[in-house]
Amino acid sequence: MSKVILVEDDERLASLTAQFLQGNGFEVDVVHDGAHAAETIIESQPDIVILDIMLPNQDGFSICRAIRNEYFGPVLFLSAKDSDFDQVKGLEIGADDYVIKPVEPFVLLARLNALLRRCTTEKKELDTLVLGKLQIDKADRRVYLEGEEVELTSYEFDLLWTLASNAGETQSREYIYKHVVGREYDGLDRSVDVRISRLRKKLGDNLEQPFRLITVWGKGYLCSKSAWQ
């Protein structure tokens, strides 16, 4: 049974959401106040976090930032804030998905299950990928560059693994969305672009002229084979 921490100050909505998820096989803990949410998440280490943005005492963006060095499971923002700015901001600070309220319960369930599948797929395989000074341990879901561990979110790890395991080959947006995000590319979603940008920063790529994770205009992204020496 997967454990969820739901951070939501609307008690009625939180209760309905928790009941629905519990009826679909989840263990759910609810937090109504932002003040102690980060501490609760870090201590509990749930399988997934559902996080509202507009919370009393501490907003969801701040909570997401606060947990990202100590919690590496998936985070899904569930918020009424529907602007492009808020969605991009949520993804840039480490969330794995952003769902706008109101949302049909079964749509939320599908998004949660897609995130959990990304985290657990082939976890038992003892695969290690080495590209020069870049080492990716798929079993432990850890990444090392020049011997130093690079902390990635679950989404970032899956994206890097997809590109690095096909180094030298361009991966189309359609392929990445289907195999990493878990849904078809609609032509508008920019979440993969945000994650690529974050990966470049964490992996010491040149943000102006990337040479490790390369944009192939009109086609997709390519992980260089030789840029990790």
Report pLDDT for 184.
83
Q: What is the pLDDT of residues 124-176, one digit of tens each?
A: 444 788 899 999 998 789 999 999 999 999 889 999 999 998 888 899 988 88
What pLDDT does residue 72 have?
81
* CA 179 to the chain's CA centroid: 14
In this prediction, residue 124 carries a pLDDT of 45
Q: Are 215 and 197 in contact (CB under 8 A)?
A: no
The confidence score (pLDDT) of residue 121 equals 52
What pLDDT does residue 122 have? 44
What pLDDT is stored for residue 189 in this prediction? 79
Tell me the C-alpha distance between 77 and 51, whole Å.
5
Going by the DSSP 8-state scheme, the letter that residue 178 receives in this structure is I
Helix 84-92 to helix 60-67 angle (10° resolution) is 20
Note the pLDDT of residue 163. Answer: 94
pLDDT (0 to 100) of residue 95:
92
| Residue 109 confidence (pLDDT) | 96
Residues 6+ apart with CB under 8 A from 14: 6, 8, 30, 32
Domains 2-120 and 128-223 share a fold: no
- Report the chain's terminal Cα–Cα distance, integer Å: 42
Q: Work out the angle at residue 98's Cα, subtended by the Cα atoms of residues 118 and 7, and round it to the nearest 5 degrees.
A: 95
Whether 129 contacts 228, CB under 8 Å: no
Domain 2-120: what homologous superfamily? Response regulator (3.40.50.2300)
Q: List 108's β-bridge partners, or say none.
A: none
Residue 77 tokens read as 């923002």
The pLDDT of residue 120 is 65
- DSSP element (H, E) containing 115: helix 105-120
> How is the chain split into domains, by residue range?
2-120, 128-223
Q: Which ranges of the chain have pLDDT less than 70?
A: 120-126
Q: Which fold has domain 128-223?
A: Arc Repressor Mutant, subunit A (1.10.10)
One DSSP character per residue, 25-60 reads: TEEEEEE--STTHHHHHHHH--SEEEE-SS-SSS-H
